[in-house]
Amino acid sequence: MHLTSVVVAASLFLIVDTTSASSAAKPSTINRQKIVQSFNVRRTASSKTTPLQVGNGNLAFGADITGLQTFLPYNILSTWGWHNFSLPETATPNNFTGLDWDTHGRLVNYDQPNPAEQAISDWLIQNPQRINLARMGLDFGNLTGASGKAVTKADLVNATQTLDLWTGSILSSFVLNGTAVEIETWAHPEEDMIGIAIRSDHLASGNLGLFIDFPYPDTSKFDAPFVGVYPNASSSANVSNAYGETFQTVFDPWYGTIQRILASKDGTTGASNANDTSYYLQLQWNNYGHMAGPTPGTKGRYVLTAANSTELLFVSAFSSSGDFVPMSFGGLSDASSDWWPDYWKSGAFVDITASNDTQAKELQRRTVLSQYLTVVNSASTNPPQGESSLSWCLVNNGWYGKFHLEMAFWHLVHFARWGHFDLLARSLPDMYTRFLPSSIDRAKKQGYQGARWGKMTDPTGRSAPGEINSLLIWQQPHPMYFAELHYRAYPNASTLHQWDDIITATADFMASFAFFNKTTGVYDLGPPMYPVSETGNPNATINPAFELAYWRFGLDVAIRWKQRLSGNGTANANATATIPKAWIDVRDKLAPLPVVNGTFTTYEGIPNMWSDPATVTDHPALAGIYGWLPPSTSGRQPLNLTVVQNTANKIRTTWDLKNSYGWDFPMLAMNSLRLGDVKQALAYLLDPSFAFDDAGYPAGGSRVPTPYMPSSGALLQAVAMLAGGWDGSSGSHFPAEWNAVVEGFSVGL
């Protein structure tokens, strides 16, 4: 099975290294199963914004109240299913030249939309977009609803469903026209397969079946909650339909294959000009099953029925190659029933159920549900080549389904703190290795050393054109943070070598990006640049406080990395020969963090820091200087904790927190925690603007669609700080009266 080999290859370093894992499994004193299952999600109606999901980080299935996608067309999204629309008539990506901006006296080229190249600029932003692989729902045959019309959700009596977190499956049931219908929905934990069981007497009469439909991609920036469109166009098997799509099908009595081939034209303007995307559904079902389709008058709808049987068992394997060995439904559900309990029993765990405090109850709920959802949505495998790539949200498509490298931190870092290095190792450090060549090209084209990491990224490593995309810099030091946590768990030469090229190229860029200001005698960051908050004039943004702190942290780690390498795993402070002088020079002469009136400011010289509404809004990154980063270990410019405290106070009283979202609250909480204010930390984590729905999905808000998955990872990172502490203050920081039991946490940076 080809996908198995990919998974094995990606987790090789884990297999090699687990022997030295510091968090070797100890018997748990917590009844994890009882706690986990007490948060099983129960619904009696579909949510209009979030599905229930089963999945494995590379493929996920979103279900409505039927356990399928019957009434609400939730999505089946993968890390590898991408589609390009046709190029504009006259241009290719090579025609895109971006814009040149003055950067310290020279012109630097940035990937920004160029008004003279509007068509190709737009195309590069919108393509590729992630494709919704299929929709699967109940076909009601000749059954009708109460009004004699088509069955609607109103015709389902006693509809109920449960997501069992312990096994990663959904059980849904309802009564239709007096007859019970039961549906099980499963995902294979490591391969891209969905398993569905339908049980009902309606099957036997031939009036209940499973339909498979194929949404067509579109170019919505936020395709949520449903991805794609369902144009109605006639089609027949093995013939190109009006949408430039071909379905190649082979159906045998108990199994079959549907190959979907999408040409890049959207079909509205004529014939196709290229085959862009092709993928396979390899299907297997139990006896009595009968597959038919595509249904005339539809764009490509297949229906599987099972007359004479009261049970239909069905498995669909999704792949871009089609060389899968089909697996039985029983085999698939067994694999999931084995994998998920292993996941829950390994790694760290928090038990705050002894507390009757409503805050503890809600925090426990959010924590358990986030532990489930981050695996389903973010534990992607990142094979080094091909169309496959990362995905940190398999619920819907935000930003065309592209992923943002500055968000890697919030999506992934918690796996390290929670002792799930196997899940982290699915994508790191491979993701950085894979994007290293394109990031070296980006830096070189701009006249810098090393590698400049992109932002809004697709499988090719391209960073989508955008003013903010091209001028944001806080994604740059992330590899150092990941590497440091990795080394902490696996302090050996293998870890050092895996990250060395990445860290070296990252630090080389950081050192050459810093501009030596002869007047002040310090290295400046920017202009032009955007700080974390993405606010202000990029041409006037110089020396942002958080980025300066992060630059210093990153260079500290890079320097230490070289010392460790030359000391064969143990720090050798004399290893200066192997450390680029520029790293030390820049770290030691970076501009000081800007302080005015006793508080940090977003950047140096910002006017009206605390009185301009446009300034005290969006991400309050000033709280990250201490909340997220450890104080610098170089001894240079020790952090002034009075200023940190003043800034925290000012943020609390002045910042437009109602307009904050996502990981802002966990970051604020971690800052309060390090400052010793646990009460305030909990208040931030349970702030009304940081909401989680019944299934644990974090609310988006006016700026981003729901769910906004970085909130889930960030919450787990903050809970890890509460449970495991950090250097110099390890252990649990939960209120004593909560009687928290915690196990398996590594100490944070």
Ligand X SMILES: *[C@@H]1O[C@H](CO)[C@@H](O)[C@H](O)[C@H]1NC(C)=O
Give the interface segment with ligand X, choosing from 60-68, 89-97, 228-236, 388-396 (CB under 6 A): 89-97
- Nearer to ligand X among residue 375 and residue 522 (C-beta): 522
Residue with smallest beta-carbon separation from ligand X: 206
CA–CA separation, 135 vs 521, rounded Å?
61
Burial class of residue 149 (count of CB atoms within 10 Å of its CB; 0-12, 13-18, 19+): exposed
The DSSP secondary-structure symbol of 728 reads: T
CB of 744 to ligand X, least distance (A): 23
For the chain, the farthest-separated pair of C-alpha atoms sits apart, in whole angstroms, at 86
Q: Between residue 610 and residue 639, which ones bind ligand X under the rule CB under 6 A?
A: 610
CA–CA separation, 425 vs 100, rounded Å?
38
The DSSP secondary-structure symbol of 576 reads: G
What b/e string do you get for 707-724 counting C-beta neighbours within 10 Å, with b at 16 or more?
A: bbbbbbbbbbbbbbbbbb
Tokens standing for 142?
A: 């000749």
Look-up: residue for tokens 């006016």?
702
- Provide the pairing of β-strand 311-319 with 275-285: antiparallel
What b/e string do you get for 410-441 counting C-beta neighbours within 10 Å, with b at 16 or more?
A: bbbbbbbbbbbbbbbbbbbbbbbebbbebbbe
Q: Between residue 43 and residue 62, which ones bind ligand X under the rule CB under 6 A?
A: none
Give the interface segment with ligand X, choosing from 163-171, 175-183, 445-453, 655-663 (CB under 6 A): 175-183
Q: Are 20 and 341 in contact (CB under 8 A)?
A: no
- Provide the pairing of β-strand 599-600 with 595-596: antiparallel
Give the interface segment with ligand X, choosing from 77-85, 140-148, 715-723, 726-734 (CB under 6 A): 140-148
478-489 and 408-417 helices, crossing angle to 10°: 10
Q: Between residue 469 and residue 508, which ones bind ligand X under the rule CB under 6 A?
A: 493, 496
The residues facing 110 across adjacent strands are 99
Tell me which of 82, 96, 101, 453 binds ligand X, using CB under 6 A. Answer: 101
CA–CA separation, 33 vs 248, rounded Å?
45
Residue 597 binds to ligand X (criterion: CB under 6 A): yes
With contacts defined by CB under 6 A, how many residues of the chain interact with ligand X?
49
Give the interface segment with ligand X, choosing from 2-10, 327-335, 565-573, 614-622 (CB under 6 A): 565-573
Burial class of residue 143 (count of CB atoms within 10 Å of its CB; 0-12, 13-18, 19+): middle
Per-residue contact track with ligand X, 663 to 702, x per CB under 6 A? ----------------------------------------
CA–CA separation, 278 vs 258, rounded Å?
10
Determine the length of the chain.
749
Residue 19 binds to ligand X (criterion: CB under 6 A): no
CA–CA separation, 145 vs 113, rounded Å?
51
Tell me which of 97, 102, 437, 447 binds ligand X, using CB under 6 A. Answer: 102
Tell me which of 90, 358, 385, 702 binds ligand X, using CB under 6 A. Answer: 90
CB of 248 to ligand X, least distance (A): 7
- Nearer to ligand X among residue 246 and residue 498 (C-beta): 246
Look-up: residue for tokens 């959904």?
170
| Number of helices (H), then strands (E), in the chain | 20, 30
- Nearer to ligand X among residue 303 and residue 667 (C-beta): 303
CA–CA separation, 59 vs 144, rounded Å?
33
- Nearer to ligand X among residue 308 and residue 460 (C-beta): 308
358-378 and 678-685 helices, crossing angle to 10°: 60
Backbone φ and ψ for 78, nearest 5 degrees, come out as -130, 175
CB of 739 to ligand X, least distance (A): 6
Tell me which of 1, 233, 242, 261 binds ligand X, using CB under 6 A. Answer: 261
Q: Which helix (H) or strand (E) holds 393?
A: none
Residue 653 binds to ligand X (criterion: CB under 6 A): no
The sheet with strand 76-78 has its strands ordered as: 52-55, 59-63, 76-78
CB of 495 to ligand X, least distance (A): 10
Q: Are 466 and 125 in contact (CB under 8 A)?
A: yes
- Nearer to ligand X among residue 214 and residue 409 (C-beta): 214
Tell me which of 26, 48, 149, 178 binds ligand X, using CB under 6 A. Answer: 178
The CA–CA distances, whole Å, from 698 to 124, 394, 534, 589 equal 29, 14, 22, 41
Tokens standing for 464?
A: 């989508």
Residue 204 binds to ligand X (criterion: CB under 6 A): no
- Nearer to ligand X among residue 161 and residue 333 (C-beta): 161
Residue 385 binds to ligand X (criterion: CB under 6 A): no
Residue 538 binds to ligand X (criterion: CB under 6 A): yes
Backbone φ and ψ for 37, nearest 5 degrees, come out as -70, -20
Residue 310 binds to ligand X (criterion: CB under 6 A): no
- Nearer to ligand X among residue 437 and residue 613 (C-beta): 613
- Nearer to ligand X among residue 145 and residue 701 (C-beta): 145
**3-class DSSP state for residue 366?**
helix
Tokens standing for 171?
A: 């059980």
Give the interface segment with ligand X, choosing from 38-46, 326-334, 363-371, 532-540 (CB under 6 A): 532-540
Q: Between residue 206 and residue 225, which ones bind ligand X under the rule CB under 6 A?
A: 206-207
CA–CA separation, 733 vs 713, rounded Å?
19
Tell me which of 24, 146, 354, 641 binds ligand X, using CB under 6 A. Answer: 354
Residue 537 binds to ligand X (criterion: CB under 6 A): yes
Tell me which of 10, 165, 183, 565 binds ligand X, using CB under 6 A. Answer: 565
Residue 468 binds to ligand X (criterion: CB under 6 A): no
CB of 102 to ligand X, least distance (A): 3
Tokens standing for 39?
A: 């948060």
Tell me which of 7, 21, 175, 741 binds ligand X, using CB under 6 A. Answer: 175
- Nearer to ligand X among residue 137 and residue 289 (C-beta): 289
- Nearer to ligand X among residue 101 and residue 474 (C-beta): 101
CA–CA separation, 12 vs 400, rounded Å?
31
Give the interface segment with ligand X, choosing from 32-40, 90-98, 479-487, 651-659 (CB under 6 A): 90-98
CB of 336 to ligand X, least distance (A): 29
Residue 142 binds to ligand X (criterion: CB under 6 A): yes
The CA–CA distances, whole Å, from 169 to 180, 258, 392 equal 20, 25, 20
Residue 268 binds to ligand X (criterion: CB under 6 A): no
- Nearer to ligand X among residue 206 and residue 735 (C-beta): 206
Give the interface segment with ligand X, choosing from 1-9, 315-323, 351-359, 614-622 (CB under 6 A): 351-359
Residue 16 binds to ligand X (criterion: CB under 6 A): no
Per-residue contact track with ligand X, 270 to 309, x per CB under 6 A? --x-xx------------x-x----------------xx-
Tell me which of 91, 639, 686, 741 binds ligand X, using CB under 6 A. Answer: 91
Residue 177 binds to ligand X (criterion: CB under 6 A): yes
Of 101, 116, 126, 93, nearest to 471 (Cα)?
101
Tell me which of 86, 220, 572, 645 binds ligand X, using CB under 6 A. Answer: 572
Tell me which of 539, 632, 637, 654 binds ligand X, using CB under 6 A. Answer: 539
Q: Which helix (H) or strand (E) holds 111?
A: none
Tell me which of 141, 322, 491, 701 binds ligand X, using CB under 6 A. Answer: 141
Binding site for ligand X (CB under 6 A): 90-91, 95, 101-102, 104, 141-144, 157-158, 175, 177-178, 206-207, 246, 261, 272, 274-275, 288, 290, 307-308, 354-356, 493, 496, 517, 519-520, 528, 537-539, 542, 565, 568, 572-574, 596-597, 604, 609-610
